[in-house]
Chain A
Amino acid sequence: MSVPTFVLAVRLRFVSAVLAAAGMILVLLMVGALFPAVGGSIGKLDLPKGVAELLGGADYSSLTGWFRSEIGAVYGPLVIGATAITAAAGSTAGEEEEGILGLVLAHPLERSQLVLAKAAAVAVGVLIVAAGTWIGLVAGVAVAGGGIALADLTALSVHLAFFGFMVGALALALAAGTGRKTVAISVASAYAILGFLVNGFAPLVGGIEWLKYLSPFYYYESNDPIANGIDGADLAVLLAAALVLTAVAAILIRRRDLRG
């Protein structure tokens, strides 16, 4: 890994990652503050099973259900996923298309070392947002009156981070393989959204239930980390996928013609 490239890449995205983390904290504080007034009165929504599944159960009557639905199911993965995907695609294919990498890679630096440095920087960005999520969860739960174990809040944040590693690494592989930022962003986002839908609906349809195993959401939330804590096997799958995709990125960029 190229250390100067890693340091620079972290620096260039540091402010936006911190802002995303701060936004996360604010939103979670609001979500926590709203629970006493709103959560109890909504109770458990009577939704079709697939839709309820997508919303993290849509059980707003308990604090755990409230946070699971408000943050865990959609908002958390959305922010983390967007952070990871844009950073991964922007710092590789984005810089390539802008004409920055044509100069950087004329220096004595292996392309794969560049990609690994960018991957590590994406991971740092993801960790910053996940840390913001953790702080926000702890604060939001306190504001709501408490009642969720710290370990479970940590578990949700950790699962979220690993989800970010995986989709970020997918965007990285696409960006490194094609050199096209929009391709990387749109394909990785489409995969995440499809994964979200598949994870909610596939289990309801006989014969395609297995599709859920292809979804990152399955490993992120099916074992319900905010209620059941960390699931080592799920995290291992997400991490393995992230590492394999990062290795693929480092290999794909090696012999390809640089664009721009």
Chain B
Amino acid sequence: MSSEIAISTHGLTKDFGGGNGLFDLDLEIEAGEVFGFLGPNGAGKSTTMRLLLDLIGPTRGSANLLGLDSRADSLAVRRRVGFLPGDFQLYPKLTGEEVLDYLADLRGGVDAAVRDALADRFRAELDRPIAELSTGNRQKVGLIQAFMHEPELLILDEPIAGLDPLVQQSFHSLLREVTDAGRTVFLSSHTLSEVERVADRVAILRSGRLMVVDSLSNLRSIAVQRLEVGFAGDVPATAAIEALPGVREARRHGSHMDVSFAGSADPLVKALAAYDVSSLRSHEDDLEEIFLSYYRGGEER
């Protein structure tokens, strides 16, 4: 099962002109994995997914999903795939229930038990008109429709956007169940932290070009992390901290110090243990920094 390919793209390109779009994407996603698709705004994540669903056509190149061509066999692809668009709307006057009824009808019906279980799990408000729902509650309806026919492959464009932490957790557990069953998830996000708990592998896209594809553990070991340390008493010398293995930079601001380091946090933690540390805060990884450090790491090896 794990050697089967769920998605493969070959020189997939969508040229919107002016350097915008997606260029020469070659990607292979294995069946049964959760694959994170990262990139800043305008990187081409949504474009890629819309190409896979045949909502837009490629300028050149091709894509294969579940052994089917994304263009020629689009109908068969769409039957077996669940898709959450990044920026979608639903009929505002209909309730969530009515929207799901319609979308289920388009698939010739779905298992009501599966659908109800999803609604319970997300605590979705399905009896209210879409127009009255908050962003997160609308997103839940989007998630339910993507999962309700138990597709072999899920393509989710920024699925976590707008969800509160509790719902994010039920979403993550859902992803685990899905992949335990051998199904595949391809999901996009802006930040590594959003996918690190669920993704097996990650690709980073920038300006329409694929920069990095790697396992999450590899990426993690190379990625630069930033730590903000507060001290109650003495503050260590920045030079001493920068001399520690893995530490790239240390900057002092009064009783605080910003430290960026790659790889294991152990040497840093051991060194800090000698001081009275009053607070620790870790910062969001900057994608730009991640692949810069990825290449730096590559050169050093």
Contacts and interface: CB of A to CB of B under 8 A. Distances in A.
A and B associate: yes
Interface residues of A, number: 22
A100 B75 contact: no
Contacts, number: 64
Interface of B: 50, 53, 55-57, 75-76, 78-79, 81, 83, 85, 87-91, 93, 102-103, 105-107, 142, 145
Given A102-B85, A106-B81, 20 more contacts: A5-B102, A8-B102, A99-B88, A100-B90, A100-B91, A102-B50, A103-B83, A103-B85, A105-B53, A107-B78, A107-B106, A108-B75, A108-B79, A108-B107, A109-B106, A255-B57, A257-B56, A257-B57, A258-B55, A258-B56
Given A99-B88, A105-B55, A4 B75 contact: no
Please give me the 9 A-B residue pairs with the lowest Cβ-Cβ distance, nearest first.
A4-B105, A106-B83, A107-B106, A257-B56, A99-B89, A108-B79, A258-B55, A103-B88, A108-B78
Nearest to A8: B102
Contacts of A103: 83, 85, 88-90, 103, 142, 145
Given A12-B93, A257-B57, A108 B142 contact: no
Q: Point out which of A105, A106, A109 has the most chain B C-beta atoms below 10 A from its C-beta.
A: A106
A110 interface: yes
A110 B53 CA distance: 12
Nearest to B98: A8
B60 to A, nearest CB: 14
Interface in A93-122: 98-100, 102-110
Contact of B75 (A98, A110, A255, A257): A110
Q: Point out which of B79, B93, B106 has the most chain A C-beta atoms below 10 A from its C-beta.
A: B106
A2 interface: yes
Interface in A2-27: 2-5, 8, 12
A10 B91 CA distance: 13
